[in-house]
Amino acid sequence: GAVVSQHPSWVICKSGTSVKIECRSLDFQATTMFWYRQFPKQSLMLMATSNEGSKATYEQGVEKDKFLINHASLTLSTLTVTSAHPEDSSFYICSARDPLRVGTYEQYFGPGTRLTVT
Amino acid sequence: SQQGEEDPQALSIQEGENATMNCSYKTSINNLQWYRQNSGRGLVHLILIRSNEREKHSGRLRVTLDTSKKSSSLLITASRAADTASYFCATVVSTLGRLYFGRGTQLTVWP
């Protein structure tokens, strides 16, 4: 089945620094990837849609200068949290759609990255 | 923005019992999906039901969809301790495929 990986699985950083999270589709090429954040015991909130070779589409209320998304290849999207602050601490999850199975609308999720900003 | 709202927020049952979770949403949809999340992990797709479908089965899972009431239900029959997880409904409103998740139901199945 389709596998999506994330790296790192957890990261601790100091306030004011930037952190990059990688999302890779391992056995398929993903023209579209999605980024979500999840607070403890809460739901996933869609942050942005990452499109290979073009600018990401951000959901309302998500700061594009704060959360930089780069989808430079068909298997890799990155999310950079710039000038991180403690309120950015969260669980970040990516997902991807397999373009060969677009009609199924199924998304394949990575295992998530736990970010803690001190 | 979140589309769905799950009910109940938490459900605790014994092994062998059935678990029913409900989901309501706000706008017209293309399809509705149910996902499972084990604590601190990624999500696993369980089942998808399209807007023109009313019921769908997959193994021990049964999903219903009532577009007139903008609601869906997920039934897990003969539950097992391994079914313990959070369950989320998510709606897709367009062919772009973006998922909008509900708040989820935390299911605990006691052996």
Q: What would the pLDDT profile of A37-86 be if each residue is shown by its tens digit?
A: 998 888 899 999 998 888 899 999 999 999 999 998 999 999 999 999 99
Interface test with A, best of B1, B41, B53, B99 (most A CBs within 10 A): B99
Nearest to B2 among A43, A97, A108 (CB): A43
Q: How far is B43 from chain A (nearest CA, A)?
A: 6
The residues of chain B scoring below 50 in pLDDT are 1
Q: Pick the residue from chain A with its C-alpha nearest to B36.
A: A109
Query: With left for phi above 0 and alpha for psi between -120 and 50, is residue B16 left, alpha or beta?
Result: left
Report the relative pairing of strands B10-14 and B105-110 from DSSP bridges: parallel
Give the pLDDT confidence score for residue A98 in this predicted structure: 81
Determine the distance in angstroms separating the CA of A79 from the nearest CA of chain B, rounded to an integer.
17
A53 to chain B, minimum CA–CA distance in Å? 17
Alpha-carbon torsion, ordered B25, B39, B8, B4, to 10 deg:
-10
What would the mean pLDDT of A101-115 be, rounded to a whole number?
Answer: 86
Query: Which pLDDT value is given to residue A51?
Result: 87
